[in-house]
A = this chain, B = another copy of it.
Amino acid sequence: MRLHFQINISEALYLKNPEESDLGRKIIKHSIELIHDYGFEYFTFKKLAEYIGTTEAGIYRYFENKHRLLLYIVSWYWNWLSLQIVFQTNNIKDPALRLKKVLNLLAAEVEDDDSTLYVNESLLHQIVISEGSKAYLTNHVEADNKLQIFKPYKDLNAAISEMISACNPKYKYPRSLATTIIEMAHFQNFFMHHLPSLTDFAKEKNDSRIVAFLTDLVFAAIQTNTKGKKE
């Protein structure tokens, strides 16, 4: 099955749309590879230019700076993931099952999606785990936010939040719980691989354990709350 879809990214993120040219697509494809290899701090436009076989100036025609490029690929990921969620929960009626499907999509390893030729989703997933929060953890979050740059992340959050409310309309913290799910799916993965004593998954480093942890956490939270229990 080939899914044809539209990734919608704020125009504020680029100077020239990288989807619409060979060089643009090369920038996306190879920046994902290089950020993955070097880490965002040690990734530079100069290295990228050399790797692609173009010049720094060429890259600056597409992106103002490397932070904008990071925002672009991270937005791309959230957008893509939201579409995966739509496709894969489309025919599921039970909201609890829908939510479980989402936990899987968030925390399980991502395979490269062949329908997107210039994006390796598996590498991109790892970038989002390690570098994703740097997208918003800056001095200029609020300015960026005014440019609608975080819309894909917020949309995903809203979608998960609605599923939570569908499971239990009385639960008081659907948005914060959604944020917790998204961030913890990634942080537990990062810790599991790099600082394993901070998790309970040190022995068998397996994504399915993270899914189990998150499932336990989420359903405990929304089920307890049904009873209107209060401390």
Seen from chain A, the residues whose Cβ lies within 8 Å of a Cβ on chain B are 38-39, 41-42, 130-131, 133-134, 136-139, 141-142, 145, 150, 153-154, 157-158, 172-180, 183-184, 187-188, 190-191, 194-195, 197-201, 210, 213, 215-217, 219-221, 223-225, 231
Contacts and interface: CB of A to CB of B under 8 A. Distances in A.
A137 B131 CA distance: 7
- SS class of chain A's interface: helix, strand, loop or mixed? helix
A198 B154 CA distance: 7
Contact of A145 (B190, B195, B223): B195
A231 B213 contact: no
Contacts of A216: 172-173, 221, 224-225, 231
B133 A194 contact: no
B38 A139 contact: yes
- One complex includes copies of this chain to the number of 2
A188 B179 contact: yes
A179 B197 CA distance: 10
Given A201-B176, A213-B176, A187 B183 contact: yes
Given A178-B198, A183-B187, A184-B184, 15 more contacts: A38-B139, A41-B138, A41-B139, A42-B139, A141-B194, A173-B217, A176-B184, A176-B199, A176-B200, A176-B210, A177-B217, A179-B191, A183-B184, A220-B223, A224-B224
Contacts of A38: 139
Contact of A175 (B130, B138, B200): B200
B134 A137 contact: yes
A173 B200 contact: yes
Nearest to A174: B200
Contacts of A157: 197-198
Contacts of A184: 176, 179-180, 183-184
Nearest to A201: B176
Closest 6 CB pairs of A and B: A39-B139, A220-B224, A220-B220, A141-B194, A220-B221, A173-B200
B136 A194 contact: yes
Nearest to A42: B139
